[in-house]
Structure formats: C-alpha cells, structure tokens
Chain A
Amino acid sequence: EAGVAQSPRYKIIEKRQSVAFWCNPISGHATLYWYQQILGQGPKLLIQFQNNGVVDDSQLPKDRFSAERLKGVDSTLKIQPAKLEDSAVYLCASSFAGPPANTQYFGPGTRLTVL
C-alpha cells in the first residue's frame, strides 16, 4: 500500500515570498491533516479536512496560511507571505473517516527554511 506522498521535500525561500506544499493521502482515506513541526517541538495541527470540507482550522494563521482539498483527495497548503518563524517541517497525514481513535498515517514532510 502506498503511503502519504508529499512534495517538495525541501524548500528554501526568502521572507515575504510565497510557497506551496502538496499532499496526496493514502487511497480511501477521507480525512487529511496538515501539521507544523517546529524544531524541538511536537507536531501542531494546522487544519483538518473531511473529504473536501474543513473540520478544524482553529490553529491555522489565516492571515497568511491557506489550504484546500479540491475533489476530496489531494491537498495544498500555501503560505503567503512567509515569515522567519514559519521555518518548520510541514507534515501531512491521513486517516479513515470515523472515530477519533483512527490511526493517522504521516508523510515524510516538507522542510521549509525561510531566510
């Protein structure tokens, strides 16, 4: 079974530039998550989708971050404009829909460096 795919794996940008990350979840997983993992910390949920609808985006900095999941499969996360403090690993995860105890499966992440 193919895992969660993410691209690019690494990205270096200047502050105030924009950047986009792509995620393709495991086939059949209706729920998709984007996390931000700052060095030395655990992952923090940014946004959760159920199919193509947003379930939770309470921790998404909406003035600069946006995400979409058109057609309920692939998803993109965008930052515009980027700040130095956005340097982190952005993880995408997916799970079957349903109970909150469902296991989340993570992609390899995109490491963003903002200079």
Chain B
Amino acid sequence: AQSVAQPEDQVNVAEGNPLTVKCTYSVSGNPYLFWYVQYPNRGLQFLLKYITGDNLVKGSYGFEAEFNKSQTSFHLKKPSALVSDSALYFCAVRARDDKIIFGKGTRLHILP
C-alpha cells in the first residue's frame, strides 16, 4: 500500500534563511508527487509536482522540490524564506492506478 510521511510537525526558520520541509513516500511503481500549501481558512493551493524527468522541480512562489528515488524522498525547499511563507504544507503521493494520499502536514513558521 502506498503511504507518505512528513516527519516534522513544525519547522521554524528565520526570515531570509533557506528552508526545507521533508517528505518521504512508499509506493509501488513510479510515483507522482505533489506539494500543496494551506493558509488559514483556505483550501489547499498547488505548489508543484513531479511526474517524470528532471529530479529538481520548480514551482510557485520560489519553491522547488528534489525527487530522490534512492531515498524515496521529495523534500520541499526555498533558498530564502519569507514571513508570508508561514503556512501548513502537505506532501502527497499517487501511484498510477491508485488514489492520492496526503501526509499529515508540516506547519512552517518563518520568524521575522
């Protein structure tokens, strides 16, 4: 069965510093991987996805994620954090013939 793990409930980063939000997955076959962001009282907003090809995926708001097949990871990164990046981030995985599975989320706090 497929699964996704976000090992950190919360990540604190100083404004201007690089940030990383971790995600690991387990799926049979080639995975489709997604990152979504959720602001208070809002639905999820799509950030980026990996389907195939280049392991480094660039997305919205300056975010990027690196697909690492050997480590089964898809960590979200940004070179310089903004206070406005503070939100709840969800990683999701989908196998070709299965439903999408979301992680439990990581709350990102960017400290001014």
A interface residues, Cβ below 8 angstroms from B = 4, 6, 40-45, 48, 56, 58-59, 91, 93, 100-101, 103-109
Contacts and interface: CB of A to CB of B under 8 A. Distances in A.
A101 B49 contact: yes
Interface of B: 32, 34, 36, 41-46, 49, 51, 90, 92, 94-100, 102-105
Contact of B100 (A6, A45, A58, A108): A45
A100 B32 contact: yes
Q: Is chain B's interface secondary structure helix, strand, loop, or mixed overall? A: loop
Given A4-B43, A106-B43, A108-B43, A42 B99 contact: no
Closest CB pairs A-B (n = 3):
A42-B102, A106-B43, A106-B44
B102 A100 contact: no
Given A56-B99, A100-B94, A100-B96, A43 B49 contact: no
B46 A42 contact: no
B73 to A, nearest CB: 17
Contacts of B100: 45, 100, 104
